[in-house]
Amino acid sequence: MSDQAVTHDTPHAPPQSGRQWTPQHELVKKSLGRRHAAEKRFRAAGMSAVLFGLAMVALLFVTIFAKGIPAFWQATFNIPVYFDPEIVKVEPRPQAQPGETPAQLRDRDLAWQTQVTMVNWNRVIENALIEHLPEAASKRPLVRRLVTSGERFGLRDMFVANPELLGQRVTLRLLADANVDVWLKGNIDRDLPDSQQQLPPEVRQWADALYERGVIEMKFSTSLFMNPDSRSSLASAGLAGAIMGSLYMMLIVILIAVPVGVASAIYLEEYAPRNKFTDLIEVNINNLAAVPSIIFGLLGAAVFINWFKMPLSAPIVGGLVLSLMTLPTVIIATRSTLKAIPPSIRQAALGIGASKTQTIFHHVLPLALPGILTGAIIGVAQAIGETAPLLLIGMSAFVASVPATPFDQATALPVQIYLWQGNELRNFFEARTSAAIVVLLAVMISMNALAILLRKRFEQRW
């Protein structure tokens, strides 16, 4: 478009010989400067609009990645922990006895686990820390604040899984408390007066000292991916539950929205007669694609939860809602791909005696497959980034476990982001939320890249 055809740069030249120099020429010549300036301004406006768009993309990614990437590394203690029999005083784990129902065995086992939970695991951790901080022996409540509170349950779970640890010394990685992490990373102003600091001065000193000695290190935070959400132990709050929830929902969308969408696109594009009814379906699908996502959430709340009494917060409900939401996207993408397949292919197949169904399934669909896949992937990517409808079907509930089936309570990645951004400990969770966003964006970008790759690889021009 921006090519040579524009010739109005030349009129500056004096009029050709043989033509009269008229006052009109004078007028045009006078206005030319103004008109060219207007042209330049217009062009600059266009350029700056494009630059604004590009700058916004850059700003968005830079701010989020700058905050998020450091949060993948977390302050972690690397210290030997002694499972002191003086502190860990429990009986051996109960075994099944003859004549006992599974329910009774479970009850005894639960009683034993309660006993293990009652052990003063904090003391075990404190002792491990005091080995490195002899001066802190008299200030146990402060020492405790160095390590995140969830680690005592980590020790308990380790012990439940392997009771032979009793009396042994094991070098473990323990997550530092969220506030220690914030302090060491400088995410809080280090010059603030004591009254505004989250940690007492001693704890800050110890943290610095241990960091210098290498007892605390910034380690890649596996807990971010392996742990479910947590409210009591903020440093170990992770995305495992959300990732599983999103994965289940993605699976459901792939299993429902993609086949149903492709099937209805095939029907509408290839079989359906042109009449009022199919027009209605067509208008309906176009409108459905533009219905705000939150309306689908209301639909889910009213139909799936209130009428069908499906469980709140379950990925199955979320998946169904997202499937309905994605359906129009898949239908529209598939239809436009089918439209792009030239009619000559159909005519050739029909001409040598194939039936309509054979023509479509043997000849048209294979050619349309890359386009359909591309559309489906983009639709699924859109679905897993969606938040609003999930809030309405109860997926914003706090869930501290990883869902084992699509019928268990769960949350999703975008919902987890929503929950984390509202956490009171802003200094810690701003970074952690950004890290969660980085994960979400990475998932979405890789899906979109896959779609682009498919399109590039298999694109056919007719």
Site for another protein in 93-122 (CB under 8 A): 101-104, 106-107
Restricting to residues 226-285, which ones interact with another protein according to CB under 8 A? 259-261, 263-264, 266-268, 271-272, 280-281, 283-285
d(CA 429, CA 439): 15
CB of 293 vs another protein, minimal distance in Å: 7
CB of 410 vs another protein, minimal distance in Å: 16
CB of 177 vs another protein, minimal distance in Å: 23
CB of 401 vs another protein, minimal distance in Å: 20
Q: Among 162, 232, 306, 344, which residue sits at the site for another protein (rule: CB under 8 A)?
A: 306
Q: Which of left, alpha, beta for 229 (phi over 0: left; psi -120 to 50: alpha)?
A: beta
288 near another protein (CB under 8 A):
yes
Binding mask 22-61 for another protein (x = CB under 8 A): -------------xx-xx-xxx-xxxxxx-xxx-xx-xx-
What tokens appear for 447 in the block?
């899906």
Q: Among 71, 79, 252, 440, which residue sits at the site for another protein (rule: CB under 8 A)?
A: 440
Contact range with another protein by CB under 8 A, out of 125-133, 225-233, 428-436, 453-461: 428-436
Cβ proximity of 92 and 110 under 8 Å: no
Count of residues of this chain found to bind another protein when the rule CB under 8 A is applied = 99
Q: 76 or 187: whose CB is closer to another protein? A: 187
CB of 6 vs another protein, minimal distance in Å: 6
Q: 230 or 323: whose CB is closer to another protein? A: 323
Restricting to residues 344-383, which ones interact with another protein according to CB under 8 A? 355-357, 378, 381-382
- With vertex at residue 245, the alpha carbon angle to CA 302 and CA 218, rounded to the nearest 5 degrees, is 140
Contact range with another protein by CB under 8 A, out of 84-92, 119-127, 138-146, 413-421: 413-421
Q: 259 or 351: whose CB is closer to another protein? A: 259
Restricting to residues 59-88, which ones interact with another protein according to CB under 8 A? 59-60, 63-64, 67
Restricting to residues 324-343, which ones interact with another protein according to CB under 8 A? 324, 327-328, 331
172 near another protein (CB under 8 A):
no
302 near another protein (CB under 8 A):
yes
5 near another protein (CB under 8 A):
yes
Cβ proximity of 454 and 372 under 8 Å: no
d(CA 229, CA 396): 12
205 near another protein (CB under 8 A):
no
CB of 26 vs another protein, minimal distance in Å: 15
434 near another protein (CB under 8 A):
yes
d(CA 387, CA 392): 9
Contact range with another protein by CB under 8 A, out of 16-24, 167-175, 239-247, 410-418: 410-418
301 near another protein (CB under 8 A):
yes
Q: Among 298, 310, 367, 454, which residue sits at the site for another protein (rule: CB under 8 A)?
A: 298
d(CA 196, CA 167): 42
Q: 244 or 325: whose CB is closer to another protein? A: 325
Cβ proximity of 116 and 90 under 8 Å: yes
293 near another protein (CB under 8 A):
yes
418 near another protein (CB under 8 A):
yes
Cβ proximity of 251 and 323 under 8 Å: no
Q: How far is CA 122 from the centre of its chain?
A: 34
Residues 12, 17, 19, 24, Cα dihedral to 10°: 20
Q: Among 203, 386, 399, 439, which residue sits at the site for another protein (rule: CB under 8 A)?
A: 386
